[in-house]
């Protein structure tokens, strides 16, 4: 049943009242001009007709318009030819190093993609995730979403050393990580996209933002969407970027609650499904122990970047709760439609994934552009 005109008007008035009293820390000049413009009404229209409860509706939309003020108005000063004269071989060097890493172990592709994602969700794509703890700086590596999850640092160190030998002091660690993530996807069968470059490395990191901004395996759908909206990414980006889980592994600690919880409820309980669940339980015991045991998030083609991840969600067999929520959540009307689309349209998934990865890579740290540097060693700020 469609929302009534009266209900829609009440929702609109509630929103207008809400944004009129945004706290001062949301009073970014671009935000103030945005909420006075027709753009706000246009952006609001799809949500006005949604059946979201008032609080989630207001929360998600306020995050959306705030993130637009932070990111959409100032497109990052990146370009495809930034290193054309200063380090023309950089793309070839990174590709060759990634080829070696993926040939030695296809799982290395997922490690680099995950590093890039976790970097961009904290202060933008500025290489902050690569910094080690020092006496004067607390890094992001020990934050709860990272501490047992990120393992690709050695790969980036090797690539950085190679790039430095070719072009010392020219190419940032942030750019190396962004390019390497693209090459990682290609090397396991995924799509190509152009990578604009010119990022600077930050001199800071944020343990607090790493703990708060990065989606976790057990989060609900609205919470995940809100974290993407805050970064200037859309619901479509949520579903497309989640498709990166077609490669890589998950720890037992991150899927234990799922397999001993609602896995049987969401799955079709076929003999194949029951066998899969039994195998997962043998890897991940219900009692304490085995937290670091791992299983592929895509049990069909774990080392191939394809759309089988979405086909797994259609069967209700997503390994992580956060993945299955995209299809099974009662609030996931749009996400469910996108899961179905990508499950049946691999070309469409590849195109959207490429577009979404460019958007992800364009999340910037304004401070790093003004005050950042090109680190000599990705683990430490230059002295």
pLDDT tens column, 31-43: 333 333 443 443 3
Sequence-distant (≥ 6) Cβ neighbours of residue 142 within 8 angstroms: 133, 207
Residue 56 has a pLDDT of 52
pLDDT at 289: 84
In which band, very low, low, confident or very high, does the pLDDT at 366 lie, cut at 50, 70 and 90?
Answer: confident
Return the higher-pLDDT residue of 115 and 57: 115
Residue 241 has pLDDT above 60, yes or no: yes
More confident residue, 287 or 161: 161
On the question of pLDDT at 288 being above 80, the answer is no
Residue 3: pLDDT band by 50, 70, 90 thresholds? very low
Q: What's the CA gap between 55 and 334, in Å, rounded? A: 19
Q: What is the pLDDT of residues 124-154, one digit of tens each?
A: 999 999 999 999 999 999 999 999 999 999 9
Residue 327 has pLDDT above 80, yes or no: yes
pLDDT band, very low/low/confident/very high, at 60 (cuts 50, 70, 90): low
Average pLDDT, the chain: 85
DSSP string, 192-248: -----B---B-S---HHHHHHHS--TT--HHHHHHHHHHTT--HHHHHHHHGGGGSS
What percent of the chain lies above the pLDDT cut of 70?
80
Catalytic residue status for 21: no
Q: How confident is the model at residue 59 (pLDDT cuts 50, 70, 90)?
A: low
pLDDT confidence band for 369 (50 / 70 / 90): confident
Tell me the three state secondary structure of residue 83: coil
Extended strands (E) in the chain: 249-251, 294-296
Rounded to a whole number of angstroms, the distance between the first and last alpha carbons of the chain is 63
Active-site option among 118, 245, 344, 366 = 118
Span 174-192, mean pLDDT?
Answer: 98
Distance, CA of 161 to CA of 173 (rounded, Å): 10
289-320 pLDDT, tens per residue? 899 999 999 999 999 999 999 999 999 999 99
How many Å apart are CA 95 and CA 184, to the nearest integer? Answer: 8
Distances (CA, A) of 151 to 93, 181, 248, 371: 21, 14, 12, 28
Percent of the chain with pLDDT over 90: 74
């Amino acid at each position: 049943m469609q929302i009534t005109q009266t209900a829609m008007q009440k929702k609109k008035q509630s929103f207008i009242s809400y944004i009129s009293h945004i706290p001062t820390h949301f009073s970014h000049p671009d935000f103030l001009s945005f909420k006075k413009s027709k753009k706000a009404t246009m952006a609001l229209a799809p949500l006005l007709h949604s059946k979201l409860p008032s609080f989630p509706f207001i929360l998600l939309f306020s995050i959306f318009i705030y993130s637009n003020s932070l990111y959409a108005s100032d497109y990052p000063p990146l370009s495809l030819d930034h290193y054309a004269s200063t380090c023309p071989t950089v793309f070839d060097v990174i590709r060759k190093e990634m080829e070696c890493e993926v040939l030695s172990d296809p799982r290395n592709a997922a490690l680099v993609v995950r590093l890039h994602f976790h970097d961009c969700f904290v202060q933008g794509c500025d290489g902050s995730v690569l910094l080690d703890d020092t006496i004067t700086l607390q890094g992001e590596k020990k934050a709860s979403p990272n501490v047992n999850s990120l393992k690709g640092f050695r790969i980036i160190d090797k690539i950085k050393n190679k790039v430095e030998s070719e072009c010392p002091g020219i190419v940032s660690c942030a750019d190396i990580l962004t390019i390497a993530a693209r090459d990682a996807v290609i090397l396991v069968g995924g799509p190509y996209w152009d990578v604009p470059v010119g990022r600077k490395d930050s001199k800071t990191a944020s343990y607090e933002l790493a703990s708060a901004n990065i989606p976790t395996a057990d989060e609900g759908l609205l919470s995940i969407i809100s974290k993407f909206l805050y970064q200037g990414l859309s619901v479509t980006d949520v579903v497309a970027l989640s498709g990166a889980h077609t490669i890589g592994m998950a720890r037992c600690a991150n899927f234990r609650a799922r397999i001993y919880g609602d896995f049987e409820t969401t799955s079709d309980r076929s003999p194949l499904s029951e066998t899969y669940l039994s195998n997962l339980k043998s890897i991940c015991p219900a009692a304490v122990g085995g937290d670091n045991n791992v299983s592929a998030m895509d049990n069909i083609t774990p080392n191939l970047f394809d759309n089988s991840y979405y086909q797994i969600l259609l069967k209700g067999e997503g390994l992580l709760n956060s993945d299955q929520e995209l299809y099974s959540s009662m609030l996931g009307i749009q996400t469910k439609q996108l899961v179905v689309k990508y499950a049946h349209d691999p070309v469409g998934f590849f195109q959207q994934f490429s577009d979404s990865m460019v958007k992800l890579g364009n999340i910037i740290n304004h401070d790093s552009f003004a005050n950042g540097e090109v680190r000599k060693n990705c683990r430490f700020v230059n002295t």
